[in-house]
Amino acid sequence: MTKLRIVLMGTTDFAVPALNKLVEAGHDVAAVVAQPDRPNQRGKKIKFLPVKQRALELGIPVLQPEKIKTPETVEELRSLKADVFVVAAYGQILSEEILFMPPLGSVNIHGSLLPKYRGAAPVHHAIIDGETESGVTIMKMDIGMDTGDMLSKVRVPIDAKTTVGYLHDLLAEKGAELLIDTLESLSDGSVVPEKQNEDLATYADKVEKTTGKLDWNQTSFKILRRINGTDPFPSAYTELNGEKIKCFVPEGLNYSGGELPGTVLQADTKHGLVVKTGDGALAVGEIQMPGKKRMPSKVYFNGNSIALGSRFE
């Protein structure tokens, strides 16, 4: 295997498996580039990013420029003399000068089967949209947003229990494994780049808190996928009497009653929370009330209540 000198650019924990695999494979990781540390929302205390923490444990230098396009940062990257830049959920747009700086260019680990779901939140949207599979694409980066030639792919199934948290972590691991093989074929010239079909391209916009808002008029399938596609972040929610209730672990149920969508059908320790949907009913296995911890709905109703016939907004 060819030993490459690599700069890894990543900010979220999606980049950690890639860092681990690069080191395990014997590559020379010259530096990790991450976004600056930010204070957490509650205590305003600075917390190291997981990828930064792991890099420091491995003795790898970490660069955290506020803006990667500044002349100073560009020169610092140039001085590292990398063979290739690897990008995994970094969060800043790279200039053309940076993209094509290394001899082998820059490659990106993208959490979708391109050209579908280009953009910021491909994992969330694949689940929400009802896809039956997702995957990772390793692509050669160009100046467009996720438009570069595809170098390799791996596919994974999505089912009724697949959450965005689970799929994110799975794709991070699968992508890291795929990266090692792809770098080998890139360095020896055996890789066969495949152009993306623009007619099939779709875009996955950044998720907001409102992405989790449930509409009980929708089918059970669509509601289930929205719950799973926002678990654990930003979390699906519904409202009752002005209170926001987060919903997790859904299960579709056959039901043909005439109640309005959003009506609470069951709320007890035996059945948990069951709500009428546009075409049936949905059991909500776990809930989180304002200021409380997430818990099984059956446990919540051991001492708490939601009136039958109440209607979620």
Binding-site residues: 112-115
Rounded to 5 degrees, φ, ψ at 194 are -120, 125
Give the residue numbers of the binding site for (6S)-5,6,7,8-tetrahydrofolate: 112-115
**C-alpha dihedral sign at 39, 42, 43, 48:** negative
Q: Residue 51 to residues 9, 37, 43, 46, 121: CA-CA distances in angstroms?
A: 10, 11, 21, 15, 19
- DSSP codes, 16-68: HHHHHHHHHTT-EEEEEE-PPP-B-TTT--B---HHHHHHHHTT--EE--S-T
Cβ atoms of 170 and 145 closer than 8 Å: no
Cβ atoms of 187 and 4 closer than 8 Å: yes
